[in-house]
Structure 1
Amino acid sequence: MIASIKLFETETVTKKGFPIKVELFYSNKKRRRKTIGHSLPQFWNALKQEPFKEHPSYFDLLPVVLEYHSKIAKINYGNYTFDEAYSILFGDVKIKPKTDPIDIGFLSFLDTFIQKKETKGESIKKFTELKSVLNAYTGNKDFPINDLTYEWLDDFSMQKLQTGCGQGGLMTYLRAMRTVYKEAQRRTSLKVKADNPFLGIIKTTVTKQMVELSPDQINELLNFKPDPSTTDDSAYKMKRNIAVWHFQFLIGGCDYVDIALLKWSDIKDKRIHFKRHKNRNMQNGGVTVNNFLTKTAREVIETYGNKKTDRIFSFIPDPSTGDVYHNFRGNINRSLSLICKQANVPRVTTKSTRYIFRTYAGEKLIHDLIIMKLQGHTPEGVTYRYQGSISPKVQDKAHKKIVKVLN
């Protein structure tokens, strides 16, 4: 049983906006909803499921929303029947609080944790991966959350390392597990011991050395020619992978997920406009990237873009496909690794262009404000509040100075 609150943008919009509804879901036959207010999307924080301060009725709406959040938390982490939960959320019947905390399995709580993050629009990838790993480790059997001890975690760590998991991957699983464990500890309705079994288990891993490529090495990569024995299809994909990697660099070191989501409507007057996927839960989607397109960048679009679809590079699976997209990106990285090996240059990935662009910008002494604008970052701090906007002319001059290093 799950209770939630959200803005229903799929319903009819009124002068006040879309309806904000509280929902109690048990099954397809047991679902109840109640409208508690209205809002336009720009005034609604989808991450926290509450109004932004800019909402016209913020001070009237916020107390109502917070009261329902309290009821929702009580239901989701309590042990109530549907009728009891309904009374708590919608009715006047007072349900006596359950004074005795309940035991819960770690995997059961992990499921609830994932559902809540998904409802809030937050990333769940590392937690679904953790669930898969734990199911394999326990044989799909749940285990009491209080069984998580130093010894349990040490045995788990040894098993993962012995079966090929790297130290970095292991630490990712353990940190995700700790996040879930600490969230469970905050729930007074759950009987979770007040300790930290992760002390001494989670270790700081050495940050990977970022790739360093000189302009000459990048030019070697861009001029790569596949081995004559390579099939035409493989050679085409290799060239396409290099071209798209180059395109990422040319427009500011853009993330691959943003490349996948680019639409033809994002291009106008030799400029590209988009909001970073990473900032999708920020108010208004965060900063708009508005960068000019070099001749080479436009050629990549013309060569590999599909004008029959909304997305420019539709050969890349839509990121919403989850594993399909991630597996495709993994194949791209393997292809780039092979190309770099044959070209005798340091290995690059789809993440490398952001660092390389930023490095070249620093070497050209480009001001941080301009770099942040080109890469879609929001300047923070009191000083930047008094900073006016940077003109496109100044931004484009700096942009051309950075990408010119490859000419």
Structure 2
Amino acid sequence: MSSSAKIVLRKKPNVIGLYPLAIRITKNRRSTFKNIGHYIDIEDWDGKNLEVKRSHSNAEGLNNLLSSKLSEVRKGLIKLQTEGKDASARQIKAEIYKPTSSLTFFDYADEHLQALEAEEKINRHSADSAWIGFIVKYCKTRQLTFQEIDDRFLRKFKTFLKGPSELSETSAMNVMILIRLLFNRAIKDKAINKELYPFGIGKFKIKFPETEKIGLNQQEIKKLQKIDNLSDIEKHSLNVWLYSFYFAGMRVSDVLFTRWSQIYDGRMHYRMGKNSKLLSLKIPDKVAEILAEYVFEKSSDDDFIFPEMRKADLNNAKDIYNKIKTATKKLNDNLKSIMKKAGINKKVTMHIARHTFGNIAGDSIHPLMLQKLYRHSNLKTTINYQGNFIHKEADDALNRVLNF
């Protein structure tokens, strides 16, 4: 049976109620669809003549585009018939929209990992290597082309990640972000046709679940400041955690890399490891008390304040990564026993120091100042983050309704 192609308006609307224009390719009564990338109101579609009605503000432009796309597909069908190729509708679609380069998905994945290693981004390299490993496990081959990765592939792959692989929704979305990154690079290099892009409106959506951010409150911080039944290693771990908290939730890697030379004129000056931002903060009295406990170990201004990185090979990115990872695990393990002794029934890790600062700050500090303290590049990031800890207005509204 011969194959055919026609323009259709698909019947599943997007989130704002518009319907996608698509090309339907049919072979042996089986069809597959290729979205054009444009959406219209159902009232603007002429189902008899298979075109956009003049009532649409851009009817002429859209109809010209539809005609061009349909012509492109029909030429592809004629070429396949001339070559005597017998294929299913899905195979015909893949053939027509085949890549313009022989580079595969895993070629780009390997290049990505090599670049991360060359740039000594070991933490990112470790995570992305793991995500690529899941893709290999799912495909059972490294011969994966970009045109094979469509919306259906991504939905089935997500099921694999959350089912047999037992990944969380957040981790599954991180894998999808990596796939999207490699797609964008391939399109930029013109290695594949942008029509193959499987993400966006009407296609696969990357959406992270809301996560609950819980920090300690003022009373719990006071408990930690007064606790005295700790071992030496527990006392040290608490010092590192409080140091992070007192500096607005400084990241553990930046804490462990703090040198005495960065402390002068009553301030702490440092360049943030994540985005290289420079920051200068006044040293709070409570931080000065912590520093006094370590100054006797100082042999030069170039020394690290805390001991974890003193034996690290600073010319070896992998050794630095491993030292930070090991130190963070030990600190978090010690924090568990510290919270138990303090009678605090919350899961506390080094990262919770950041949530704790946000929780106590609430809505009492202007977002622009919080953006500076958090070292965020975007104010929207700060507002979204701080929204996890601002509950007063909602609480007051609830009380006003129930106060009768």
What range describes the TM-score normalised by the shorter chain of this pair? 0.5 to 0.7
How far residue 255 of structure 1 moved from its aligned partner, in angstroms, is 1.6
Identity %: 18
Partner of 2:198: 196
CA distance in 2, matches of 1:380, 1:337: 33
Partner of 2:258: 262
- CA separation of 1:212 and 1:259: change in aligned 2, threshold 3 A: closer
How far residue 266 of structure 1 moved from its aligned partner, in angstroms, is 0.4
How far residue 315 of structure 1 moved from its aligned partner, in angstroms, is 1.0
Partner of 2:169: 167
CA distance in 1, matches of 2:378, 2:136: 42
Aligned 8 A contact 1:101 1:191 in 2: yes
Structure 2: tracts of 5 or more residues without a match: 1-98, 381-404
CA distance in 2, matches of 1:169, 1:148: 19
CA distance in 2, matches of 1:120, 1:101: 29
Partner of 2:217: 214
Over aligned residues, Cα RMSD in angstroms?
A: 3.6
Partner of 1:288: 279
Aligned 8 A contact 1:275 1:288 in 2: yes
How far residue 265 of structure 1 moved from its aligned partner, in angstroms, is 0.5
- CA separation of 1:164 and 1:333: change in aligned 2, threshold 3 A: farther
How far residue 350 of structure 1 moved from its aligned partner, in angstroms, is 1.8
- CA separation of 1:210 and 1:238: change in aligned 2, threshold 3 A: same
2:112 pairs with 1:109: no
Structure 1: tracts of 5 or more residues without a match: 1-99, 228-234, 281-285, 382-407
CA distance in 1, matches of 2:379, 2:167: 38
2:356 pairs with 1:356: yes
Q: Please say which of residues 259-268 and 194-203 is displaced more in the overlay.
A: 194-203
Partner of 1:279: 275
Aligned 8 A contact 1:272 1:289 in 2: yes
CA distance in 1, matches of 2:153, 2:330: 35
How far residue 208 of structure 1 moved from its aligned partner, in angstroms, is 1.6
Equivalent residue for 1:205, pick from 203, 208, 211: 208
- CA separation of 1:180 and 1:341: change in aligned 2, threshold 3 A: farther
Aligned 8 A contact 1:103 1:191 in 2: no
Structure 1 residue matching 2:281: 3-state secondary structure: strand
- 1:246-303 Cα shifts (integer Å, max 9, x gaps): 11122332221210221110011432111222222xxxxx342232241x32332343
How far residue 324 of structure 1 moved from its aligned partner, in angstroms, is 4.2
Partner of 1:131: 132
2:231 pairs with 1:242: no
Structure 1 residue matching 2:308: 3-state secondary structure: coil
1:314-325 alignment, distance < 5 Å: 314-316=307-309, 320=317, 321-325=320-324
Aligned 8 A contact 1:252 1:354 in 2: yes
How far residue 244 of structure 1 moved from its aligned partner, in angstroms, is 0.8
CA distance in 1, matches of 2:329, 2:145: 35
Structure 2 residue matching 1:279: 3-state secondary structure: coil
Equivalent residue for 2:288, pick from 298, 309, 323: 298
Structure 1 residue matching 2:110: 3-state secondary structure: helix
Structure 2 residue matching 1:315: 3-state secondary structure: helix
Aligned 8 A contact 2:198 2:204 in 1: no
- 1:59-83 Cα shifts (integer Å, max 9, x gaps): xxxxxxxxxxxxxxxxxxxxxxxxx
Equivalent residue for 1:312, pick from 293, 299, 305: 305
Relative to the length of structure 1, the TM-score reads 0.55
Aligned residues: 268
1:138-177 alignment, distance < 5 Å: 138=139, 141-161=142-162, 162-177=164-179
CA distance in 1, matches of 2:204, 2:331: 34
Q: Please say which of residues 150-159 and 118-127 is displaced more in the overlay.
A: 118-127
CA distance in 2, matches of 1:291, 1:375: 15
- CA separation of 1:154 and 1:331: change in aligned 2, threshold 3 A: farther
Aligned amino acid, residue 305 of structure 2: I
CA distance in 1, matches of 2:379, 2:145: 43
- CA separation of 1:159 and 1:256: change in aligned 2, threshold 3 A: same
Aligned amino acid, residue 282 of structure 2: N
Aligned 8 A contact 1:274 1:288 in 2: yes
- CA separation of 1:181 and 1:328: change in aligned 2, threshold 3 A: farther
How far residue 245 of structure 1 moved from its aligned partner, in angstroms, is 0.7
1:335-350 alignment, distance < 5 Å: 335-341=334-340, 343-350=343-350
How far residue 108 of structure 1 moved from its aligned partner, in angstroms, is 1.4
Partner of 2:68: none
Aligned 8 A contact 1:105 1:143 in 2: yes
Equivalent residue for 2:185, pick from 183, 186, 198: 183
